[in-house]
Chain A
Amino acid sequence: MARIVIDPITRIEGHLRIECEVEGGKVANAWSSGQMWRGIENIVKGRDAREVWLFTQRICGV
């Protein structure tokens, strides 16, 4: 069984990694994972609700 890893996936926003297992010419199993974490969930916890948009809006700039 062959394992193919494509990292980084380009032409998208963010850091994406795809791994797949190939069996007899067919993809038997595959995984995708985001390779970057900023913890915005933790940053907005307990913050003044009126300024949370400043952070969540910047999850993705595309």
Chain B
Amino acid sequence: MNNKYSIFSLIKNAFTQHENWQQAWGNPEPKKEYDAVIVGGGGHGLATAYYLAKKHNMKNIAVVEKGWIGGGNTGRNTTIIRSNYLWDASAGLYDHALKIWENLSQELNYNVMFSQRGVMNLAHNLQDVRDLKRRTHANRLNGIDAVWLNTEEVKKFCPIINTSPDIRYPVLGGTLQRRAGTARHDAVAWGYARGADEMGVDIIQNCEVKGIKRSGDIIEGIETSKGFIKTKKVGVVAAGHSSVIANMAGLKLPLESKPLQALVSEPVKPIIDTVVMSNAVHAYVSQSDKGELVIGAGTDAYVSYTQRGSHDVVEGTLKAILELYPIFSRMKMLRQWGGIVDICPDASPIISKTSIKGLYFNCGWGTGGFKATPGSGDLFAHTIANDEPHKLNAAFNINRFVSGDLVDEHGAAAVAH
């Protein structure tokens, strides 16, 4: 049983030099059998396990992770959270997540540092203006806060943006979602892990899935680096490696895995108190609480699992950033990295049953999965527990690629609609 974190526990532990804090989650060996196994210990996987235990009373479950929890895309993204998606299905999905974010620190008794500092999407040409205005109207019809800002209002909201009309990417306006913002990515994984562990979920790290055992079209268990685990239900939340797991089960998915890059600067005093995303030029910027500029770039255009990404992609992003924010021209970049994102042809996720009974996939989040973490976990847990999708993720089934009923949302990272 974990201790509840509070101001009193903080003071109490201060007297013992913070040396007596309890382990936040255990390090168990896998049991022979579980009611369900989640493959992938990132934010989405841990959230799935948390909601399976909490809302569906499935306590005899495990999360298996080939590395350490939160070490994949959960620890590599730019932590932007928003729900201003165009289509009804996406709006429902992402706003469901945003509503959970708003109370998540309290629910988990773990500070995920959710900060509703607003997310602004810039328009650089006439088509951007039309598309973003349309999206603002669509958002408001779906009960999602959104406002259109003209160039002067953009400048007022974020004064360091260069709004001069003669630059390569002139700012013709933008949209603002004030409820949107950022959160601390590691804390999300750790908070869900601690919460799941407390309810009896086994979190098994350094345990790689080597094979999926099935008899006919029914799941029997998984082969792992720590031996065979018998289970009737396997929920795969493996992000860029979803196709690798699918291939083990003899399935093909409509995914391509590509490196997506991000980088952070040296820390500086507060200069940008919101998140600004530039759809057309793949340039996203915010500032972390430590003072680093957090910059998101685009994906490489080819399949790769290298977790690094190309130099020309970063160069293009920084060119755009420097023109929009001339004040950053002397900043030094400290670190650059890549995460492998699994992209669907319609840039929307898959939260779905499959043709194999007991095998479920939660994948295809592409470049924008972090924002959905709590909602994704909640809906995937519902899908696994009931063997039926929740109404909010029914549209995100895998059969949409057969029926043609796609959720064509090339706005995963607010990339041009």
A and B associate: no
Binding site for B on A (CB under 8 A): none
Binding site for A on B (CB under 8 A): none
